[in-house]
Every structure is written in C-alpha cells, then in structure tokens.
Structure 1
Amino acid sequence: MAALSVFPAAAEPARMPERKAGLWHMTTTMDEGNGAVTQDLTMCVDARMERLTVSTSAEEHGKQCARYDIARRGEATVVEMSCQFSGRQVESKTEMSGDFQSAFAVKIESTTSGEQDAQSVSVKRTIQQTGTYLGADCGDLSGGEAKGPDGTRVMVQ
C-alpha cells in the first residue's frame, strides 16, 4: 500500500510565457507622454531564440533588480520589478495575457528616473503590444528578423 503525503504539492513557480515558433503579426504602441506611436511588424520567432531570450531576461533582471517578481493572476502573468540600469531607477509592471500560441497581449507601465544632464528626470512610459500567430512558415524572414509594412527589415532578437 502506498503512503499518502499530507503535504500539499509545491506550486510550480510562475514563468514568462514563450511565443510559439513561426510568423507573428505584432502591433506595438508606445506612449511617453508626447502622444502614442504605433508600429506594425511581421516577425519570425525561432523557438531556440525565444527560450534563450526568456531565460537570459530572467537571469539579467535577477542580477540588476532589487525586486523581480513573476506571478500568475487569473489568466495573466504579471511581472513587477524595481531595477537599476545605467544609473537610473526603473519601476515597472508588465501584464501578459493570451495563450502565446495563437495570440497574446502585453501591457507595460514603467517609470524611469535619475539624473540626465545634471537634472533630475522622470519618464513615465506605457507600452502595449498585441500579437497574432500567422503560421509556422516565416517565408523569407529568418529567426529574430522582422519586417515593417514598407518592407524594411530589422533584427529584433
């Protein structure tokens, strides 16, 4: 007869979601208080690069941040952090939802403060991004490469 444990199973720690490998259409809107700027890209996500990006991000934030918490809240993954980057303090909250297999939505609200040109500066930023999976075939784009509506190509990973 097997013994039953009286201790509850440990909950698996929350992780950053990874996008499914393939071609994605992404719309990103950034507002730093001077009006929103929107960018549309078609991007090729490579599975290996995506895993590496997620693990490297967690490792780097763990080193640079006094606080870097990842939690599941309902259907969303929420990341709250307080970090020092290049002598500036960054406070942010990121909310991610969707299955990251067919669609996702990300909202980042952050404040960066510190000295710039001998003045104290504080910048509030909101970034919203949505993604829709277009399929496994990236066509003429390679992993980590994106293309704008005008055909301009950029490396994003």
Structure 2
Amino acid sequence: MSIRFRPLFALSLLCLAASAAAVELPANLPKRKAGLWEMQMGMAGGQSQTMKVCLDEATDKAMYQMGAQMSGSMCSKFSLAVKDGAVVADGVCNLPGPQGNITMTSHSETRFQGDSAYRTTGHVKYDPAVMGHSEADVDSSGKWVGACAAGQKPGDMILPNGQKVNLNDMAKAK
C-alpha cells in the first residue's frame, strides 16, 4: 500500500468501526470468544495490516463503546442489524478533511463463524473524493488464535508496528 493511500485506508477503517458502534447494539449481535485474536484489515488490491488483541467479554463490549465515543455526532444516518446471519451496517458520516468536510457513505457486512472467526467486507464512498479516490472496498477479518500470551491482560493490543497499547486504559483516560 502506498504511503499516500494510507490515510484514506485508516479513515475508512476508523469510520466503519466507529460508526458501527454509534447506535444501540442489537441483542443478537454475535460475541467473540475470550482470548487472543489476530485481526487483519486492508483495502481491496492493497496490503493488509495485522494486529493482535487480548479480549474478554468486557473488553469486547468496551471496543464497541469506544467506537461510539469516537463517532460522536459525525454520522447523520446509521443502521445496524443482524440479517440473514450477517451484521449489516449502513451509515452516512461527515468527516473533517484538509479541504473541508467529506461525506462518507458506507455499507458493511460481517459474517461470523461461530465465536472464533469473522470477516467484514465493506464499501465506502467519499464526496468529495479523498486523494483522488471517490470509493474504496475495505476488508477485515479476525480469528481466535488461543489463550492470551503470558503477561497479557484483556485490552492489550499489539499494533502493526509492534507498539503495545491497552484499549481499556485508553477508554478510562477519556
């Protein structure tokens, strides 16, 4: 993935994740198994980024809550539902950009394989275009890889650059 395209990629992933948590979650939303998860995120035709996170039930819920806080009032429309075995999210969000506001319209579907794997596919449209791109396909997946490593606590996330942060500590700091 080109360095120039990375901000667009990050923006797309952030907004898909953040907007998905900006509403009350459906009661039948699938839950992920506690333990160590490996997650990959990328754009169609591009390089993917991999991170690992130690999850428990409380941290899984906190990730959704953090997304809701991040999205704030950016999304004028949003729906989240479990349909035909998939979590379907649609949103229209206004984001600040270097040349003014950007309207991002997104659609994503997440399919779970029990409580130990999932895959999300999404499509994002930008108006006006961002760095010459008016649309992007986004793909992410996650799989349970086992128990959290010795010394890890729930919320510990190892970013693609090797840096470790704790999601629970970040949520408490806000």
TM over 0.5: yes
Shift of 1:17: 4.4
Please say if residues 30 and 115 of structure 2, whose CA atoms lie closer than 8 Å, have aligned partners that are also in contact: no
1:2-41 correspondence to structure 2 within 5 Å: 14=26, 17-31=30-44, 35-41=45-51
Indicate how the Cα distance of structure 1 residues 141 and 111 shifts in structure 2: closer, same or farther if over 3 A, else same.
farther
More helix by share: 2
| Alpha-carbon distance in structure 2 between the residues aligned to 1:40 and 1:56 | 20
Partners of 1:55 and 1:137 in 2: how far apart? 22
Give the conservation status (yes or no) of the 8 Å contact 2:128–2:134: no
Identity value in percent: 20
Of 35, 53, 75, the match for 1:65:
75
User: Is the 2:30–2:112 contact (alpha carbons within 8 Å) kept by the matching residues of 1?
Assistant: no
Q: Return closer, same or farther for 1:76/1:44 CA change in 2, 3 Å cut-off.
A: same
The one-letter code sitting in structure 2 at the alignment partner of 1:135 is: G
Map 1:69-80 to 2 at 5 A.
69-80=79-90
Shift of the 136–65 alpha-carbon distance from structure 1 to 2, 3 Å rule, reads same
Q: Distance in 2 between matches of 1:103 and 1:147?
A: 19
Q: Distance in 2 between matches of 1:115 and 1:85?
A: 12
2:116 aligned with 1:105: no
Distance in 2 separating the partners of 1:113 and 1:100: 37
Does structure 2 retain, via aligned residues, the 8 Å contact 1:77–1:96? yes
Q: Distance in 1 between matches of 2:123 and 2:38?
A: 22
| Matched residues, number | 138
Residues 1:62 and 1:145: Cα distance change in structure 2 (over 3 Å)? closer
Structure 1, unmatched stretches of 5+, are 1-12
- The Cα shift of 1:113 comes to 2.1
Name the Cα RMSD after superposition.
3.1
The structure with the largest alpha-carbon Rg is 1
Give runs of aligned pairs for residues 78-89 of structure 1, distance below 5 A: 78-86=88-96, 87-89=101-103
- Distance between the aligned counterparts of 2:128 and 2:158, measured in 1? 32
Name the SS of the counterpart of 1:63 in structure 2.
Answer: coil
CA gap 1:115/1:24 in 2 versus in 1, 3 angstroms: closer
Partner AA of 2:149 in structure 1: C
Normalization by structure 1: what TM-score?
A: 0.69
Structure 2 residue runs of 5 or longer lacking an equivalent are 1-24, 168-174
